């Protein structure tokens, strides 16, 4: 049975492995010491959670959800989901669905007026998956690389 819970520092090697197994990050791009420092800093944020989906002590999926305060929309907060990853061997078992629904419930409980996420334009299977959960395509996503 899949359990969804907040990630712990001990989960970081598995989370980084999921990012590499799913193509979120390239193999070798992750540094555990840096991830530990970042995870500790994230714990100081008002409402930022990394969730894991676990079965028999094996991390099979993860995502991050942040609740952001707003001045617009009657000061209603919004939620942002990042870094959704389900191990390729576990895809199709409802793990991603359970993680997204957990994030939606978290956002609703905090009075968020919306939950948003972005997906690479090339990831058409991910788009179909998100649409099957009731998420709608909206607007455009823009970004710029800020590395030197």
State both tokens at 37: 């420092």
CB 23 within 8 A of CB 17: no
Is residue 115 within a helix (H) or strand (E), and if so which, with residue range? strand 115-116
CATH of the domain at 119: 3.40.630.30
- Residue 147 belongs to a domain: no
* Alpha-carbon gap, residue 15 to 11, rounded angstroms: 6
Digit-by-digit pLDDT tens for the chain (148 residues) are 999 999 999 999 999 999 999 989 999 999 999 999 999 999 999 999 999 999 999 999 999 999 999 999 999 999 999 999 999 999 999 999 999 999 999 999 999 999 999 887 778 888 888 899 898 988 878 889 898 7
Tell me whether residue 71 is in a domain: yes
| 67 part of a folded domain | yes
In a domain, 98, yes or no: yes
Range of the domain at 59: 3-132
- How many distinct structural domains can be found in the chain? 1
Contacts of 7 (CB under 8 A, 6+ apart): 15, 39, 49, 50, 51, 52, 62
142 domain-assigned: no
Is 148 among the domain residues?
A: no
């Amino acid at each position: 049975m899949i359990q969804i819970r907040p990630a712990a520092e001990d989960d970081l090697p598995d989370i980084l492995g999921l990012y590499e197994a799913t193509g979120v990050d390239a193999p070798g791009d992750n540094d555990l010491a840096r991830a530990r420092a970042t995870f500790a800093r994230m714990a100081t944020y008002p409402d930022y959670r990394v969730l894991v989906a676990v079965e028999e002590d094996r991390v099979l999926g993860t995502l991050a959800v942040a609740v952001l305060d707003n001045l617009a929309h009657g000061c209603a907060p919004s939620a942002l989901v990042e870094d959704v990853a389900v191990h390729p061997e576990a895809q199709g078992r409802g793990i991603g669905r359970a993680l997204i629904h957990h994030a939606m419930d978290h956002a609703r409980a905090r009075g968020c007026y919306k939950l948003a996420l972005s997906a690479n334009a090339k990831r058409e299977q991910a788009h179909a998956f998100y649409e099957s959960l009731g998420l709608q395509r909206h607007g455009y996503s823009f970004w710029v690389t800020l590395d030197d």
